Amino acid sequence: MVREGSPCWTQKCRGLLLGLLVILILGAVVVLSAVVLARRREPPAPLPQWKGRGSTAHLREILLGRCFSYAGLLHPELRKDCLKIWEAFEKAFISKNPCNITEEDYQPLMALAAHPIPCNKTLLWSKTNELAHQYTKVRGDLLTLEDTLLGYMADGLMWCGSPSSAEMNYQSCPHWRECANNPNSIYWKMASRIFAEAACGVVHVMLNGSISQPFGNSSIFGSVEVHHLNPKRVHLMKVWVIHNLSAQSSDSCSKSSIKELKSILEGRNIAFSCKGDHRAVQLIQCVGNPEEPACRAC
Protein backbone atom coordinates (compact mmCIF):
# COMPACT_ATOMS: atom_id res chain seq x y z
CA MET A 1 0.00 0.00 0.00
CA VAL A 2 2.62 2.28 1.01
CA ARG A 3 4.73 1.19 -1.91
CA GLU A 4 1.89 1.78 -4.29
CA GLY A 5 1.63 5.40 -3.34
CA SER A 6 5.36 6.01 -3.13
CA PRO A 7 6.21 6.53 -6.88
CA CYS A 8 3.67 9.32 -6.97
CA TRP A 9 5.10 10.75 -3.76
CA THR A 10 8.63 10.42 -5.10
CA GLN A 11 7.69 12.24 -8.28
CA LYS A 12 6.18 15.05 -6.28
CA CYS A 13 9.29 15.08 -4.14
CA ARG A 14 11.51 15.19 -7.20
CA GLY A 15 9.52 18.12 -8.51
CA LEU A 16 9.80 19.88 -5.22
CA LEU A 17 13.48 19.13 -4.94
CA LEU A 18 14.08 20.39 -8.47
CA GLY A 19 12.14 23.56 -7.70
CA LEU A 20 14.12 24.09 -4.51
CA LEU A 21 17.38 23.54 -6.38
CA VAL A 22 16.45 26.09 -9.05
CA ILE A 23 15.50 28.60 -6.36
CA LEU A 24 18.76 27.96 -4.50
CA ILE A 25 20.87 28.37 -7.66
CA LEU A 26 19.03 31.54 -8.65
CA GLY A 27 19.46 32.89 -5.13
CA ALA A 28 23.18 32.12 -5.15
CA VAL A 29 23.59 33.82 -8.53
CA VAL A 30 21.77 36.92 -7.29
CA VAL A 31 23.84 37.10 -4.08
CA LEU A 32 27.14 36.50 -5.91
CA SER A 33 26.48 39.11 -8.57
CA ALA A 34 25.42 41.57 -5.87
CA VAL A 35 28.73 40.98 -4.07
CA VAL A 36 30.74 41.33 -7.29
CA LEU A 37 28.93 44.53 -8.28
CA ALA A 38 29.39 46.00 -4.80
CA ARG A 39 33.13 45.22 -4.97
CA ARG A 40 33.39 46.90 -8.37
CA ARG A 41 31.74 50.08 -7.11
CA GLU A 42 34.12 50.29 -4.14
CA PRO A 43 36.85 52.80 -5.10
CA PRO A 44 40.52 51.77 -4.76
CA ALA A 45 41.97 52.37 -1.27
CA PRO A 46 41.85 56.18 -1.07
CA LEU A 47 45.12 58.12 -0.65
CA PRO A 48 45.24 60.54 2.27
CA GLN A 49 44.02 64.05 1.47
CA TRP A 50 46.54 66.78 2.26
CA LYS A 51 46.26 70.53 1.88
CA GLY A 52 49.35 71.07 -0.28
CA ARG A 53 49.62 70.45 -4.00
CA GLY A 54 50.38 66.88 -5.04
CA SER A 55 53.56 65.46 -6.55
CA THR A 56 54.58 67.14 -9.80
CA ALA A 57 53.39 65.20 -12.84
CA HIS A 58 56.28 63.39 -14.61
CA LEU A 59 58.49 63.95 -11.57
CA ARG A 60 60.83 61.11 -12.53
CA GLU A 61 61.35 62.37 -16.07
CA ILE A 62 61.90 65.97 -14.92
CA LEU A 63 64.32 65.07 -12.17
CA LEU A 64 66.28 62.64 -14.32
CA GLY A 65 66.33 65.12 -17.22
CA ARG A 66 67.61 67.91 -14.99
CA CYS A 67 70.22 65.62 -13.47
CA PHE A 68 71.53 64.53 -16.88
CA SER A 69 71.49 68.12 -18.05
CA TYR A 70 73.42 69.37 -14.99
CA ALA A 71 75.79 66.45 -14.42
CA GLY A 72 76.08 65.25 -18.01
CA LEU A 73 76.18 68.44 -20.06
CA LEU A 74 77.09 71.31 -17.72
CA HIS A 75 79.39 69.58 -15.23
CA PRO A 76 80.62 66.23 -16.56
CA GLU A 77 83.65 66.58 -14.27
CA LEU A 78 81.39 65.76 -11.30
CA ARG A 79 80.93 62.20 -12.62
CA LYS A 80 77.49 61.74 -11.07
CA ASP A 81 75.34 58.67 -11.70
CA CYS A 82 71.86 60.10 -12.31
CA LEU A 83 70.04 56.76 -12.25
CA LYS A 84 71.50 55.99 -8.83
CA ILE A 85 70.61 59.50 -7.69
CA TRP A 86 67.01 59.01 -8.80
CA GLU A 87 66.80 55.68 -6.98
CA ALA A 88 68.10 57.23 -3.77
CA PHE A 89 65.71 60.15 -4.18
CA GLU A 90 62.72 57.84 -4.57
CA LYS A 91 63.76 55.59 -1.70
CA ALA A 92 63.80 58.54 0.68
CA PHE A 93 60.01 58.98 0.65
CA ILE A 94 58.22 56.23 -1.33
CA SER A 95 55.94 54.00 0.80
CA LYS A 96 56.59 56.24 3.82
CA ASN A 97 54.39 58.43 5.97
CA PRO A 98 54.86 61.90 4.40
CA CYS A 99 54.70 63.54 7.84
CA ASN A 100 57.47 61.42 9.26
CA ILE A 101 60.43 61.91 6.94
CA THR A 102 63.84 62.23 8.57
CA GLU A 103 67.28 63.41 7.52
CA GLU A 104 68.41 59.77 7.61
CA ASP A 105 65.95 59.05 4.80
CA TYR A 106 67.79 61.54 2.58
CA GLN A 107 71.32 60.71 3.76
CA PRO A 108 72.15 58.34 0.85
CA LEU A 109 70.84 60.85 -1.72
CA MET A 110 72.74 63.79 -0.24
CA ALA A 111 75.92 61.74 -0.13
CA LEU A 112 75.53 60.82 -3.82
CA ALA A 113 74.55 64.25 -5.12
CA ALA A 114 76.49 66.78 -3.03
CA HIS A 115 79.60 68.29 -4.61
CA PRO A 116 82.22 70.83 -3.55
CA ILE A 117 81.62 74.58 -3.96
CA PRO A 118 84.70 76.74 -4.60
CA CYS A 119 85.62 79.30 -1.93
CA ASN A 120 84.15 82.83 -2.20
CA LYS A 121 81.39 81.60 -4.55
CA THR A 122 78.43 81.09 -2.23
CA LEU A 123 75.40 83.36 -2.66
CA LEU A 124 72.61 82.88 -0.12
CA TRP A 125 69.28 84.66 -0.53
CA SER A 126 66.01 85.25 1.26
CA LYS A 127 62.85 86.72 -0.30
CA THR A 128 64.82 87.68 -3.42
CA ASN A 129 64.39 84.36 -5.24
CA GLU A 130 64.11 85.62 -8.81
CA LEU A 131 66.69 88.39 -8.66
CA ALA A 132 69.32 86.23 -6.95
CA HIS A 133 69.03 83.62 -9.71
CA GLN A 134 69.04 86.22 -12.47
CA TYR A 135 72.22 87.60 -10.93
CA THR A 136 74.07 84.27 -10.88
CA LYS A 137 72.97 83.54 -14.46
CA VAL A 138 74.32 86.85 -15.74
CA ARG A 139 77.47 86.86 -13.62
CA GLY A 140 79.19 83.53 -13.33
CA ASP A 141 81.10 84.56 -10.20
CA LEU A 142 78.60 83.36 -7.56
CA LEU A 143 76.42 80.28 -7.04
CA THR A 144 73.08 79.85 -5.29
CA LEU A 145 71.80 76.54 -3.93
CA GLU A 146 69.73 76.24 -7.13
CA ASP A 147 72.99 76.36 -9.12
CA THR A 148 74.17 73.17 -7.39
CA LEU A 149 72.96 69.71 -8.43
CA LEU A 150 70.65 69.21 -5.43
CA GLY A 151 68.97 72.58 -5.87
CA TYR A 152 68.86 72.44 -9.65
CA MET A 153 67.15 69.03 -9.74
CA ALA A 154 64.35 69.79 -7.30
CA ASP A 155 63.73 73.52 -7.88
CA GLY A 156 59.97 74.21 -7.99
CA LEU A 157 58.95 70.53 -7.74
CA MET A 158 56.74 68.76 -5.20
CA TRP A 159 56.79 65.12 -4.16
CA CYS A 160 55.42 62.75 -1.52
CA GLY A 161 54.35 59.13 -1.10
CA SER A 162 52.03 57.22 1.18
CA PRO A 163 52.61 54.26 3.54
CA SER A 164 49.78 52.32 1.86
CA SER A 165 51.16 52.54 -1.67
CA ALA A 166 54.39 52.22 -3.64
CA GLU A 167 53.23 55.08 -5.89
CA MET A 168 53.72 58.79 -5.59
CA ASN A 169 50.74 60.77 -4.35
CA TYR A 170 49.88 63.02 -7.29
CA GLN A 171 46.66 64.25 -5.65
CA SER A 172 48.02 66.08 -2.62
CA CYS A 173 51.01 66.38 -0.31
CA PRO A 174 51.27 67.81 3.22
CA HIS A 175 51.50 71.59 3.37
CA TRP A 176 54.38 72.66 5.60
CA ARG A 177 51.82 74.01 8.06
CA GLU A 178 50.24 70.54 8.30
CA CYS A 179 53.49 68.89 9.27
CA ALA A 180 57.08 70.08 9.29
CA ASN A 181 58.65 66.69 8.59
CA ASN A 182 57.35 66.36 5.03
CA PRO A 183 59.57 65.15 2.15
CA ASN A 184 59.88 68.61 0.57
CA SER A 185 60.75 70.61 3.71
CA ILE A 186 63.28 68.07 4.96
CA TYR A 187 64.95 67.99 1.53
CA TRP A 188 65.35 71.77 1.32
CA LYS A 189 66.44 72.14 4.93
CA MET A 190 69.05 69.45 4.49
CA ALA A 191 70.28 70.67 1.10
CA SER A 192 70.51 74.24 2.48
CA ARG A 193 72.41 73.06 5.52
CA ILE A 194 74.90 71.13 3.39
CA PHE A 195 75.28 74.14 1.08
CA ALA A 196 75.98 76.45 4.05
CA GLU A 197 78.39 73.98 5.67
CA ALA A 198 80.36 73.78 2.42
CA ALA A 199 80.80 77.56 2.15
CA CYS A 200 84.21 79.10 2.69
CA GLY A 201 85.99 82.42 2.38
CA VAL A 202 83.59 85.29 1.73
CA VAL A 203 79.87 84.44 1.68
CA HIS A 204 77.31 86.79 0.11
CA VAL A 205 73.63 87.07 0.93
CA MET A 206 70.97 88.98 -1.02
CA LEU A 207 68.13 90.19 1.20
CA ASN A 208 64.94 92.08 0.36
CA GLY A 209 64.94 95.70 1.54
CA SER A 210 61.35 96.27 0.44
CA ILE A 211 59.84 94.19 3.22
CA SER A 212 59.69 95.06 6.92
CA GLN A 213 62.05 92.27 8.01
CA PRO A 214 64.79 91.73 5.42
CA PHE A 215 66.28 89.21 7.86
CA GLY A 216 63.69 86.82 9.26
CA ASN A 217 64.80 84.21 11.77
CA SER A 218 62.18 81.72 10.53
CA SER A 219 63.36 81.76 6.91
CA ILE A 220 65.68 78.99 5.69
CA PHE A 221 68.46 81.58 5.61
CA GLY A 222 67.72 82.75 9.17
CA SER A 223 66.94 79.38 10.72
CA VAL A 224 69.32 77.04 8.89
CA GLU A 225 72.02 78.65 6.77
CA VAL A 226 73.28 81.37 9.13
CA HIS A 227 73.74 78.78 11.87
CA HIS A 228 75.62 76.27 9.73
CA LEU A 229 78.33 78.45 8.23
CA ASN A 230 81.60 77.14 9.57
CA PRO A 231 83.43 80.04 11.32
CA LYS A 232 86.75 78.25 10.79
CA ARG A 233 86.24 78.47 7.04
CA VAL A 234 83.99 81.50 6.54
CA HIS A 235 85.56 84.75 7.65
CA LEU A 236 83.17 87.35 6.23
CA MET A 237 79.53 87.66 5.25
CA LYS A 238 78.71 90.43 2.78
CA VAL A 239 75.07 91.43 3.00
CA TRP A 240 73.33 93.13 0.08
CA VAL A 241 69.96 94.63 0.92
CA ILE A 242 68.13 95.14 -2.37
CA HIS A 243 65.12 97.44 -2.84
CA ASN A 244 62.40 97.47 -5.41
CA LEU A 245 63.55 99.98 -8.02
CA SER A 246 60.50 102.19 -7.53
CA ALA A 247 60.90 102.28 -3.75
CA GLN A 248 62.73 105.09 -1.97
CA SER A 249 66.20 103.88 -1.19
CA SER A 250 66.30 103.92 2.59
CA ASP A 251 69.18 103.04 4.85
CA SER A 252 68.33 99.38 5.11
CA CYS A 253 71.57 98.32 6.73
CA SER A 254 70.54 100.07 9.92
CA LYS A 255 67.19 98.27 10.12
CA SER A 256 66.76 96.33 13.35
CA SER A 257 66.43 92.98 11.59
CA ILE A 258 69.80 93.49 9.87
CA LYS A 259 71.32 94.41 13.23
CA GLU A 260 69.99 91.13 14.56
CA LEU A 261 71.77 89.29 11.73
CA LYS A 262 74.97 91.21 12.49
CA SER A 263 74.88 90.20 16.14
CA ILE A 264 74.21 86.53 15.31
CA LEU A 265 77.17 86.48 12.91
CA GLU A 266 79.54 88.33 15.22
CA GLY A 267 78.48 86.00 18.03
CA ARG A 268 79.65 83.17 15.78
CA ASN A 269 82.96 84.90 14.98
CA ILE A 270 82.06 85.72 11.38
CA ALA A 271 82.70 89.31 10.26
CA PHE A 272 79.79 91.26 8.79
CA SER A 273 79.54 93.94 6.13
CA CYS A 274 76.38 95.45 4.64
CA LYS A 275 75.59 97.41 1.53
CA GLY A 276 72.23 98.80 0.46
CA ASP A 277 71.64 98.51 -3.28
CA HIS A 278 74.61 96.93 -4.94
CA ARG A 279 75.24 98.51 -8.36
CA ALA A 280 75.70 95.25 -10.32
CA VAL A 281 72.41 93.96 -8.94
CA GLN A 282 70.63 97.22 -9.72
CA LEU A 283 71.74 97.02 -13.35
CA ILE A 284 70.11 93.59 -13.60
CA GLN A 285 66.90 94.98 -12.10
CA CYS A 286 67.08 97.75 -14.73
CA VAL A 287 67.18 95.29 -17.63
CA GLY A 288 63.57 94.40 -16.84
CA ASN A 289 62.51 98.00 -16.06
CA PRO A 290 64.66 100.37 -18.18
CA GLU A 291 62.15 103.21 -17.86
CA GLU A 292 62.51 103.45 -14.05
CA PRO A 293 64.05 106.78 -12.95
CA ALA A 294 66.64 104.86 -10.92
CA CYS A 295 67.91 103.35 -14.20
CA ARG A 296 68.43 106.63 -16.09
CA ALA A 297 71.93 107.32 -14.84
CA CYS A 298 73.18 104.42 -16.90
Ligand X SMILES: *[C@@H]1O[C@H](CO)[C@@H](O)[C@H](O)[C@H]1NC(C)=O
User: What is the binding site for ligand X (CB under 6 A)?
Assistant: 97, 100, 102, 119-120, 127-128, 131, 201-202, 208, 210-211, 217, 242, 244, 247
C-alpha dist (Å) from residue 103 to 55, 80, 173, 228, 254: 20, 21, 18, 15, 37
Q: How far is CA 202 from the centre of its chain?
A: 28
Q: What are phi and psi of 188, to 5 degrees?
A: -70, -35
Nearer to ligand X, 82 or 123 (CB): 123
Report the nearest approach of ligand X to the CB of residue 163 (Å). 8
Report the nearest approach of ligand X to the CB of residue 217 (Å). 4
- Distance of alpha carbon 226 from alpha carbon 237, whole angstroms: 10
User: Among 173, 200, 253, 274, which one carries the catalytic annotation?
Assistant: 200
Nearer to ligand X, 100 or 263 (CB): 100
User: Among 99, 119, 286, 295, which one carries the catalytic annotation?
Assistant: 119
Nearer to ligand X, 4 or 130 (CB): 130
Q: How far is CA 52 from the centre of its chain?
A: 11
Report the nearest approach of ligand X to the CB of residue 74 (Å). 22
Residue 147 per-residue DSSP state: G
- Tell me whether residue 274 is one of the annotated catalytic residues: no
> Residue 275 carries which side chain, given as an amino acid letter?
K
- Distance of alpha carbon 151 from alpha carbon 133, whole angstroms: 12
- Distance of alpha carbon 184 from alpha carbon 108, whole angstroms: 16
Beta bridge partner(s), residue 234:
201
Nearer to ligand X, 70 or 240 (CB): 240
- Tell me whether residue 119 is one of the annotated catalytic residues: yes
C-alpha dist (Å) from residue 173 to 96, 161, 278: 12, 8, 39
Nearer to ligand X, 153 or 229 (CB): 229
Report the nearest approach of ligand X to the CB of residue 214 (Å). 9
Where in the sequence numbering do the catalytic residues fall?
A: 119, 200
